[in-house]
Structure 1
């Protein structure tokens, strides 16, 4: 909490973590990721927008910025002294860092989610999921922390360690200072961000979208997962969806790198995240490549989505 006599803009990330009672090693890890983001910001501003000539584990062509952002994060995590294993969306295997798991953390991350939007100057982000010990193939409910960094008109960092959701903004000195403590969501919202081709929606998803529109919900979709989730969280209302499609029963988004950390943050803010049948955070990953459909946002909106999908498919 902000001390009496101090403005929230005087509270930096490290101090905030200390004041909410977070342990030293997790504080160090989160701050290492925050420091890495400063170099990623510079890479976005000045780096090569071309392709790297390689592909990731999903067979997708990697951009030079993807590879550079991945290297920046991996180097910081390796040298942090508190990481057991790490897993990047850009690499095919879990990367061991230490054989001693005691008191250490395992980290899964998407170093530059939405990187294909950089060349048209739209917002992109870094997404991070943190577990205790050496096992990354756990249900998301076991996360001890999750965070994302949004590179947009302002660079902001949003994190939770199970003690609420907090937003920080990068200042002129490239330090993250507190903007909002304990971000919360309303029960229902008036905006929706629908991913995937609508003509491939199931009957239940299509009926849910029509219900949203009949209720006056406005479509707000950027094509980037981080900015769309950030919009819903910071406005405190709305729902994002990338549902099961007729040609993709598991949707598009990756459970470990994207859905688990965002579901953790949204639930910490009072929202919900579901596949349409079960909570995202209760899914047991079978492999690092797992994907799942998602409805994530205000509790009532997600509950209505689940109802439509359960009844109509």
Structure 2
């Protein structure tokens, strides 16, 4: 077994499979992560060349599915089934858990193309994946054995964790993922904030929190895409993303299983924190596949300040 390097170190010649092997990861988990990586190669090609029109169907949240949503979902689903190690899968684009193999070791929840409406204006989008052991998808996020996202931007990058730190890989001209940064770390506090939601609907606690960030000189950096905004926090090692509870929507917007749990797992592995403003994201007991929650995620001290103000003012 090869020990993980010091934070922020770089090894350009190590590919994803070799990295997992050197960390002595479970062979089946390695296979599953590599299947997702392989699927992303087809997704990125579809983004570059595919039809951007609406597919004519809706997901269970009533949102129009773009053709790329449908295609990305099919690509990823096929690779997960092909892996031979998956018991159940759940996509944000479907309204039911798909039983794959009762003997499978893992359950997988995924958003095949988060932020897909941004593709037609050429902004970055991504794939988010959560992996749990066993066939039950309704587990708290702390039970995840791995989480990952792929960012399709000017470069295509893959970020993953199996509970042993966070590691970034870049797709090269041969469409292979090679290690760029090992053991990514987030600072205790930052100078960037990415606020989602309509500000005039913020509660008093959230409004006071955002105002305090502005008074401290934090710079607003918000793309409208969850993956690029989290990646900014992760790779700059600083900042906070928030999509809070609103006066007319106390449950927030982002989905627990597909978006919040995997990102919270990754952020915590990098030394950050993820909270609803009142509770650790990874401790939430999911009640259904469509659960949502508010989120404050990023630098630990910044998240704790949000929790303090929300506890005081609501």
Q: TM-score scaled by structure 1? A: 0.97
| 2:3 and 2:23 in contact (8 A); partners too | no
Could you list the runs of 5+ residues in structure 1 that have no partner in the other structure? none
- Equivalent in 81, 89, 97 of residue 100 of structure 2: 97
The answer as to whether partners of 2:189 and 2:299 remain within 8 angstroms in 1 is yes
* Matching of residue 199 in structure 1 with residue 200 in structure 2: yes
- Secondary structure of the residue aligned to 1:178 is strand
Q: What is the 5 A alignment of 1:279-298?
A: 279-298=280-299
Paired position in structure 2 for 1:60 = 63
Q: After the TM superposition, which residues 147-296 of structure 1 pair with which residues of structure 2 at under 5 Å, given as runs?
A: 147-296=148-297
Q: Secondary structure at the match of 1:32?
A: helix
Query: How many angstroms does 1:3 deviate by?
Result: 10
Superposed displacement of residue 247, structure 1: 1.1
C-alpha separation in 2, matches of 1:231 and 1:99:
38
User: Deviation string for 1:17-66 (max 9, x for gaps)?
Assistant: 00011011000000000000000000000001000000001111100000
Match of 1:78 among 60, 77, 81: 81
**Cα deviation digits, residues 233-285 of structure 1 (max 9, x gap):** 10001100000001111110000000000000000000000001000000000
SS in 2 for 1:9: coil
> 2:302 maps to which residue?
301
* Residues 134-153 of structure 1: per-residue CA shift (max 9 Å, x gap): 01000000000000000000
Following TM superposition, where does structure 1 have runs of at least 4 consecutive aligned residues deviating by more than 2 angstroms?
Answer: 1-4
The corresponding residue for 1:109 is 110
Deviations 1:164-223 (A, max 9, x none): 000000000000000000000000000000000100100000000010011110000000
Question: Could you say what the CA RMSD is over the residues aligned between the two structures, in angstroms?
Answer: 1.2
Q: Residue in 1 aligned with 2:54?
A: 51
1:126 aligns with 2:91: no
- Please give the alpha-carbon distance, in whole angstroms, between the structure 2 residues aligned to 1:3 and 1:115: 34
Distance (Å, rounded) in 1 between the aligned partners of 2:167 and 2:24: 14
- Could you tell me how far apart the structure 2 residues matched to 1:114 and 1:19 are? 33
Q: Which residue number in structure 2 is paired with residue 22 of structure 1?
A: 25
Question: Cα gap change, 1:153/1:2 in structure 2, threshold over 3 Å: closer, same or farther?
Answer: farther
TM-score by length of 2: 0.97
Instruction: Give, in whole Å, the separation in 2 of the partners of 1:217 and 1:126.
Output: 28
Query: How far apart in 1 are the matches of 2:303 and 2:75?
Result: 36
Distance in 2, Cα, partners of 1:277 & 1:50: 40
Partners of 1:122 and 1:2 in 2: CA distance: 36
What are structure 2's unaligned runs of at least 5 residues?
A: none
1:8 offset after TM fit, Å? 1.1
Contact 1:147 1:261 in 2 (8 A): yes
What is the rounded CA distance, in whole Å, between the counterparts of 2:3 and 2:168 in structure 1? Answer: 13
**Mapping 1:21-40, distance limit 5 Å:** 21-40=24-43
Alpha carbons of structure 1 residues 84 and 222: separation in structure 2 relative to 1, 3 Å: same
Structure-2 change in CA distance of 1:246 and 1:29 (3 Å) = same
